[in-house]
Amino acid sequence: RKTLVAPEINISLDQSEGSILSDDFLDTPDDLDINVDDIETPDETDSLEFLGNGNELEWEAKNMPGDSADLFGDGGTEDGSATNGRLWRTVIIGEQEHRIDLQMIKPYMRVVTHGGYYGEGLNAIIVFAACYLPDSNLADYHYIMENLFLYVISSLELLVAEDYMIVYLNGATPRRRMPGLGWLKKCYQMIDRRLRKNLKALIIVHPSWFIRTVLAISRPFISVKFINKIQYVHSLEELEQLIPMEHVQIPDCVLQ
């Protein structure tokens, strides 16, 4: 029996042309103000076509409600071309391949979790806990955030099959852990248009003055229809009135 060996992939994360860090990556505001609701929603086959690129997904086995979004597991493939034995994982976002440094982001993978489903079908609840983001005073902060950014986007593509909502837990998050405007802008830009359209609500729990200001500043580069999907919730009791909480993992620091 023959054994197939995957070719070595060498993807740069520096500021070279075409890189995720390149200044050319950020589009102009005019380019981003699109009417995503006019875009045709792909059928189930189209929505999951990226699985043919090596990301195998079994809903019952891999995406159980309440689990962390650590879809890559603990044993990322070791890249022989990397130094210091780092663990890397190659993901496909859109039509481009990117490489994630799993070793650097492992302490922060709890930032994205699967919160179960709402309504009928596979309408996912995606929980983003900002309190698990890294401190901005870390020496490798920007490198960590670039890799965490790729992890969050690729997790969304794997977790979402139909309509979905994002629950953003802003409570118990000091200013030094809040993501910057540039990071949020890139997240918005790289989210597939299908995911933008299928997002039915962005619920921000315990909104602070800072997060409200960031969203106000962000208005020029995000669509009005996206802004209209944002909803502020001021308590967990209020959140319970909106969504099923059975599988939503609330960090202890937020509960306190």
pLDDT band of 55, cuts 50, 70, 90: very low
Q: What contacts 39, CB < 8 A, 6 or more positions away? A: 193, 194, 197
Q: What is the pLDDT of residue 167?
A: 97
Say how many domains are in the chain. Answer: 1
Across residues 156-181, what is the average pLDDT? 91
Tokens linked to 146: 């670039």
- Note down the domain range covering 170: 23-73+106-255
Residue 205 is assigned to a structural domain of this protein: yes
Residue 218 is assigned to a structural domain of this protein: yes
181-198 per-position pLDDT tens digit: 788 878 888 888 889 889
Residue 254 near residue 169 (C-beta atoms within 8 A): yes
Q: What burial letters (b/e) apply to 175-196, b meaning 16+ CB within 10 Å? A: eebbbeeebbbbeeebbbebbb
Task: Tell me the three state secondary structure of residue 31.
Answer: helix
Residue 88 is assigned to a structural domain of this protein: no
Across residues 152-165, what is the average pLDDT? 91
Write the CATH number for 42: 3.40.525.10
Residue 16 is assigned to a structural domain of this protein: no
Residue 197 is assigned to a structural domain of this protein: yes
233-245 per-position pLDDT tens digit: 999 999 999 999 9
pTM assigned to the model:
0.69
Half-sphere exposure of 155 (CA within 13 A, CB side): 28
Residue 18 is assigned to a structural domain of this protein: no
In three state form, how does the secondary structure of 181-244 look?
HHHHHHHHHHCCHHHHHHEEEEEEECCCHHHHHHHHHHHHHCCHHHHCCEEEECCHHHHHCCCC
Q: What is the pLDDT of residue 68?
A: 53
Residue 114 is assigned to a structural domain of this protein: yes
Residue 215 near residue 207 (C-beta atoms within 8 A): no
